[in-house]
Chains A and B, each alone.
Chain A
Amino acid sequence: EDKVVQSPLSLVVHEGDTVTLNCSYEVTNFRSLLWYKQEKKAPTFLFMLTSSGIEKKSGRLSSILDKKELFSILNITATQTGDSAIYLCAVGDAGNMLTFGGGTRLMVKP
């Protein structure tokens, strides 16, 4: 059975801090790893990673995948209160199915 584990479960930081969120997985026939941000209800897409060692970057957010060690990290630099959300990691397999992790709840205090 496919498994995705995120850590930490929750995190409280202050504005300006840098955070690193972790996602480890056990998936048969891995295809891709995706990160989503869920602020209120609808998760919104951040990154899709398919190759090891290639960093994807969008503003203050970046992510990288290690297919040998089966994990990914999501980095947020210079955090802002608007970054407060649940960050979801999901892994897609060859059958087009996504398995989600339990999420990391990030709170950024002013």
Chain B
Amino acid sequence: SQTIHQWPATLVQPVGSPLSLECTVEGTSNPNLYWYRQAAGRGLQLLFYSVGIGQISSEVPQNLSASRPQDRQFILSSKKLLLSDSGFYLCAWSVLTGLKNTEAFFGQGTRLTVV
């Protein structure tokens, strides 16, 4: 069966420090991968998505970046964190199978606090 792993679960980082959040998927090939951010009490904002290795689409310009070095690995990075980067980060995957039910499956999330 397919599983998605996201770590770490919580992270406290100082302003200006770098960030690396990793997400891996097991049990499927060539998934679409997504990074979302959820500010406290808010909805999910799509940050990046990827339809294949090395293919990254950015939805919102910011100081974050994403990379997909392997088929089932998706990394969210920042060179210098801002206070506004605090939030709950969710990785998700899905596959495209025509018009059939193709929901997104989410990781457990990373709660990032920038201090």
Q: Do A and B bind each other?
A: no
B: residues with CB less than 8 A from A are none
A: residues with CB less than 8 A from B are none
